[in-house]
Chains A and B, each alone.
Chain A
Amino acid sequence: MEGERLASQARSSGLPAGGATGESPGVDAPLLGSSGSSALLQAEVLDLDEDEDDLEVFSKDASLMDMNSFSPMMPTSPLSMINQVKFEDEPDLKDLFITVDEPESHVTTIETFITYRIITKTSRGEFDSSEFEVRRRYQDFLWLKGKLEEAHPTLIIPPLPEKFIVKGMVERFNDDFIETRRKALQKFLNRIADHPTLTFNEDFKVFLTAQAWELSSHKKQGPGLLSRMGQTVRAVALSMRGVKSRPEEFMEMNNFIEIFSQKINLIDKISQRIYKEEREYSDEMKEYGPIHVLWSASEEDLVDSLRGVARCLDQCCKATEKRMSGLSEALLPAVHEYVLYSEMVMGVMKRRDQIQAELDSKVEALTYKKADTDLLIEEIGKLEDKVECANNALKADWERWKHNMQNDIKSAFTDMAEENIHYYEQCLATWESFLASQTDLHMEETSEDKPESH
């Protein structure tokens, strides 16, 4: 019925495949099915200590567990384990390096599409080689994301760049669009690689390493890619119920993410607008300098001054271009990623609510039904585990995500400030040198306007 797919893989490849949570087709997927690898999930989350090089501990514990049921013999409570773990991405421990480049256009009779080259370098044992080169198209990325969401419904999966550009773009394959997408895809893969849990996902590995035909056949195994574009009526109803019984900490999380999402969207718009205004300013500046040169042609005595001003204006124009490119390299993609991220997080919250609602509805059923109490109790037991795992996974990942967000935002805005400082410094230097050249000859006609520079 439901194929046995490995949601994630431990280092030791000897682990039997565990059922992932949420296998069946339909968006309900996360709710149905066995508790599967929730235990495995939990274990993964627990065992990733940043100083822990030896992940044999992980495999050992995992092997103790029955993949299909929750073992009561966990050494410590999940909560306390989580508190011990910190999910900071340590660059020193990075052992998986991914680049995305070389977009290429492919034309078939049916369609035109772009593939990107993906190069993976790794020192991990479970990879057959230390370097891989494959070609993937956007569809493949979508597939990967879907698989990750299926396997880890309450982990914050990194966002993919948008499928289409909302406005202004006639041609799908405009150069800027492709470049922006390429950068975002690279970010996407690296974020997965840096995620303590997702980095060991089997589909991820296949994505990075399989040849085209291998990937297609791999994709065909198991359920097809689920459309996550909408929610079924049941899911909506469930999520609403889940909202009502949401624990306090998740209420806070939800409030945060709603406001954050609003604000980050505004910041995204503002930043795009700044870019646009700077572009228009730069366009006008391009004309400003040359006029002074033109003027100097009819003014014998003012040639130096006019050409000097023209030079300054041209330099400032170049400095503006540089500032703009800094913006589009650092701030814009970072902010936009968090716009998409905030949507992802909201989706994760919903899924958690749905899982909770599933439990609640069974509990409610128990209070009314008299028959099949034993079965219900067993189901409830499983669902309780599922909820607990989902909650813990989310909580841990939330902390990690928030921490990353703070760093990323801080770094993006600090960069922007730096770009602006540099811009003004460049302009200052050019104008000061012009002024110096003029006032050498200009004598002491000091007006009060003269700057007390130096």
Chain B
Amino acid sequence: MEQAPRDPERQLQPAPLEPLGHPDAGLQAAMTENNFWLKKIEINVSEAEKRTGRNAMNMQETYTAYLIETRSVEHTDGQSVLTDSLWRRYSEFELLRNYLLVYYPHIVVPPLPEKRAEFVWHKLSADNMDPDFVERRRIGLENFLLRVASHPILCRDKIFYLFLTQEGNWKETVNETGFQLKADSRLKALNATFRVKNPDKRFTELKHYSDELQSVISHLLRVRARVADRLYGVYKVHGNYGRVFSEWSAIEKEMGDGLQSAGHHMDVYASSIDDILEDEEHYADQLKEYLFYAEALRAVCRKHELMQYDLEMAAQDLASKKQQCEELATGTVRTFSLKGMTTKLFGQETPEQREARIKVLEEQISEGEQQLKSKNLEGREFVKNAWADIERFKEQKNRDLKEALISYAVMQISMCKKGIQVWTNAKECFSKM
């Protein structure tokens, strides 16, 4: 991670080794540097802390800061050494990501965990300061950093490196790159359509796919939240049995013991739902990551669209200039132009004037042809690189989602086993009544 290129704009070729990205605490990212030696780093977002400070408008505010610890692992002995440790808040993560979006438009940039709690089932707090939310965000931020660190291209970025190592002054450094200016404001206008005549079909399909992905995952998360809500209700109501059985057992001679112990199992059943749903929240977070990834995909498609649009506009412009030039040279006016009109009305221009104009146009045409060539090249490079990353992303997505579904099944199995146990115990108590 050390010798990151000084110029963050330079895009390096993807590393030959495909590193493992895993949203798990303390997992390692492997990177090659000049193919000479393997150096591993560990990134942890290990703590979250409430802080108060002054914001940009010099007003008191409360925010949460997260501790990022970076360890380098020597390949030979496997020991890790803490190399860096600093605190960052969510807004700094956002800044980092926005920077990456501008400088790596052809990369599907990993998303941040949600800013505000959404798709919340009602018992879960939607408050950003809620400890459970903070905890899940901590995990999400760690996951983000690991994703970036394990991306063959992004991991080499200097600003990313500084994010992990340079606490003070980092913000200034990022802003000095002037990335905000480089950002194409048109990219922000999500709804604006650009009439692109020859888009790359793959990108059109990809955009369509990302829309579908976003829509279906949103829908799924909404329903999941409702299901969680209902499930919570079913479990918790059983807890009432516990209390009433206990009170009832006081007046019963033979049934008393059975009632009392059955009631206890009802309490156990009712309280088991809390852990179950907490685990499920982790699953929901995994889905949310891909919900946000859909946006990242769309951003890449958008960039392609814009590039293509610019290309087409440039080509169009060039064509029209060429035509103008031709008309001037041959004297035929095929196209309407204001100059032509005024010439007709106020008299023709002199041959010298015409020559001058042709010269200017020829220069412009030459420039335009250069530009078009480079734009074309740029476009092709973009498509090639973007598509490589998209393929990488697709593999990652398939792996991750499959694993998520499997882990969901595992959760359900655990829930069922607990249920069987509790109800078997309860049944025994009932039959002893």
Q: Which residues of A pack against B, CB within 8 Å?
A: 255-256, 259-260, 263, 266-267, 270, 273-274, 277-278, 280-281, 283-285, 287-288, 291-292, 294-295, 298-299, 301-302, 305-306, 308-309, 312, 316, 406, 409-410, 413-414, 417-418, 420-421, 423-425, 427-428, 431-432, 434-435, 438-439, 442, 445, 447, 449-451, 453
Contacts of A418 in B (CB 8 A): 427
What are 9 contact pairs spanning A and B, CB under 8 A?
A270-B237, A270-B241, A280-B230, A291-B220, A309-B409, A425-B416, A428-B416, A431-B413, A445-B403
Contacts of A428 in B (CB 8 A): 413, 416-417, 420
Assess A281 versus B231: contact at CB under 8 Å? Given A298-B213, A427-B416: yes
Assess A438 versus B231: contact at CB under 8 Å? Given A291-B219, A413-B430, A425-B420: no
The 4 closest A-B pairs by CB, nearest first: A417-B427, A281-B230, A424-B419, A428-B416
Q: Determine the distance from Cα of A17 to Cα of B263 in the docked complex, in whole angstroms.
A: 51
Of A299, A306, A423, A453, the most chain B CB neighbours within 10 A belong to: A299
Determine which of A273, A288, A421, A435 lies in contact with B406 in the assembled complex, contact meaning CB atoms within 8 Å.
A435
Apart from A263-B248, A302-B398: 6 A-B pairs, beta carbons within 8 A: A283-B230, A291-B219, A299-B401, A305-B406, A421-B424, A431-B409
Q: Is the C-beta of B234 less than 8 angstroms from some C-beta in chain A?
A: yes
Q: Is the C-beta of B407 less than 8 angstroms from some C-beta in chain A?
A: yes
Q: Which residues of B pack against A, CB within 8 Å?
A: 209, 212-213, 216-217, 219-220, 223-224, 226-227, 229-231, 233-234, 237-238, 240-241, 244, 247-248, 250-251, 254-255, 258, 262, 398, 401-403, 405-410, 412-414, 416-417, 419-420, 423-424, 426-427, 430-431, 433
Q: Determine the distance from Cα of A277 to Cα of B234 in the docked complex, in whole angstroms.
A: 5
Q: Are A287 and B412 in contact (CB under 8 A)?
A: no
Contacts of B224 in A (CB 8 A): 288
Q: Determine the distance from Cα of A428 to Cα of B416 in the docked complex, in whole angstroms.
A: 6
Q: Are B420 and A449 in contact (CB under 8 A)?
A: no
Contacts of A425 in B (CB 8 A): 416, 420
Q: Are B220 and A295 in contact (CB under 8 A)?
A: yes
Q: Are A298 and B216 in contact (CB under 8 A)?
A: yes
Q: Are B405 and A277 in contact (CB under 8 A)?
A: no
Q: Are A417 and B414 in contact (CB under 8 A)?
A: no
Question: Secondary structure at chain B's binding surface: helix, strand, loop or mixed?
Answer: helix
Q: Determine the distance from Cα of A365 to Cα of B387 in the docked complex, in whole angstroms.
A: 108
Contacts of B262 in A (CB 8 A): 413
Q: Are B227 and A285 in contact (CB under 8 A)?
A: yes
Q: Are B223 and A291 in contact (CB under 8 A)?
A: yes
Contacts of A283 in B (CB 8 A): 230
**Taking the nearest CB of chain B, how far is it from the CB of A5, in angstroms?**
38
Chain A residue with Cβ nearest B401: A302
Chain A residue with Cβ nearest B219: A291
Contacts of B255 in A (CB 8 A): 406, 409-410
Contacts of A259 in B (CB 8 A): 247-248, 250-251
Contacts of B227 in A (CB 8 A): 281, 284-285, 288
**Taking the nearest CB of chain B, how far is it from the CB of A25, in angstroms?**
38
**Taking the nearest CB of chain A, how far is it from the CB of B261, in angstroms?**
12
Contacts of B231 in A (CB 8 A): 281
Contacts of B230 in A (CB 8 A): 277, 280-281, 283-284
Q: Are B216 and A410 in contact (CB under 8 A)?
A: no
Q: Are B416 and A305 in contact (CB under 8 A)?
A: no
**Taking the nearest CB of chain B, how far is it from the CB of A276, in angstroms?**
9
Q: Are B414 and A421 in contact (CB under 8 A)?
A: no
Q: Are A442 and B406 in contact (CB under 8 A)?
A: yes
**Taking the nearest CB of chain A, how far is it from the CB of B252, in angstroms?**
8
Q: Determine the distance from Cα of A273 to Cα of B235 in the docked complex, in whole angstroms.
A: 11
Assess A439 versus B406: contact at CB under 8 Å? Given A284-B227, A287-B223: yes
Q: Determine the distance from Cα of A447 to Cα of B244 in the docked complex, in whole angstroms.
A: 42
Q: Are B433 and A409 in contact (CB under 8 A)?
A: yes
Contacts of A312 in B (CB 8 A): 409, 412
Chain B residue with Cβ nearest A423: B419
Q: Determine the distance from Cα of A421 to Cα of B247 in the docked complex, in whole angstroms.
A: 25
Contacts of A280 in B (CB 8 A): 230, 233
Chain A residue with Cβ nearest B414: A451
Determine which of A256, A295, A316, A442 lies in contact with B402 in the assembled complex, contact meaning CB atoms within 8 Å.
A442
Q: Are B423 and A424 in contact (CB under 8 A)?
A: yes
Chain B residue with Cβ nearest A410: B433
Q: Are A277 and B408 in contact (CB under 8 A)?
A: no
Chain B residue with Cβ nearest A266: B244
Assess A284 versus B226: contact at CB under 8 Å? Given A270-B237, A309-B405, A438-B402: yes
Q: Are A274 and B234 in contact (CB under 8 A)?
A: yes
Q: Are A449 and B407 in contact (CB under 8 A)?
A: yes
Q: Determine the distance from Cα of A250 to Cα of B396 in the docked complex, in whole angstroms.
A: 75
Q: Are B251 and A450 in contact (CB under 8 A)?
A: no
Q: Are A432 and B413 in contact (CB under 8 A)?
A: yes
Q: Are A302 and B426 in contact (CB under 8 A)?
A: no
Q: Are A305 and B405 in contact (CB under 8 A)?
A: yes
Contacts of B398 in A (CB 8 A): 299, 301-302
Contacts of A260 in B (CB 8 A): 248, 251
**Taking the nearest CB of chain A, how far is it from the CB of B231, in angstroms?**
6
Chain A residue with Cβ nearest B24: A447
Q: Are A435 and B409 in contact (CB under 8 A)?
A: yes
Contacts of B423 in A (CB 8 A): 417, 420-421, 424
Q: Determine the distance from Cα of A281 to Cα of B248 in the docked complex, in whole angstroms.
A: 29
Q: Are A281 and B240 in contact (CB under 8 A)?
A: no
Q: Determine the distance from Cα of A167 to Cα of B270 in the docked complex, in whole angstroms.
A: 28
Q: Are B417 and A450 in contact (CB under 8 A)?
A: no
Of A256, A316, A421, A453, the most chain B CB neighbours within 10 A belong to: A421
Contacts of A270 in B (CB 8 A): 237-238, 240-241, 244
Q: Determine the distance from Cα of A439 to Cα of B407 in the docked complex, in whole angstroms.
A: 11
Q: Are A295 and B248 in contact (CB under 8 A)?
A: no
**Taking the nearest CB of chain B, how far is it from the CB of A72, in angstroms?**
37
Q: Determine the distance from Cα of A220 to Cα of B408 in the docked complex, in whole angstroms.
A: 69
Contacts of B254 in A (CB 8 A): 406
Contacts of A281 in B (CB 8 A): 227, 230-231, 233-234
Contacts of A432 in B (CB 8 A): 413
Contacts of A434 in B (CB 8 A): 409
Contacts of A410 in B (CB 8 A): 255, 258, 430-431, 433
Q: Are B420 and A424 in contact (CB under 8 A)?
A: yes
**Taking the nearest CB of chain B, how far is it from the CB of A346, in angstroms?**
15
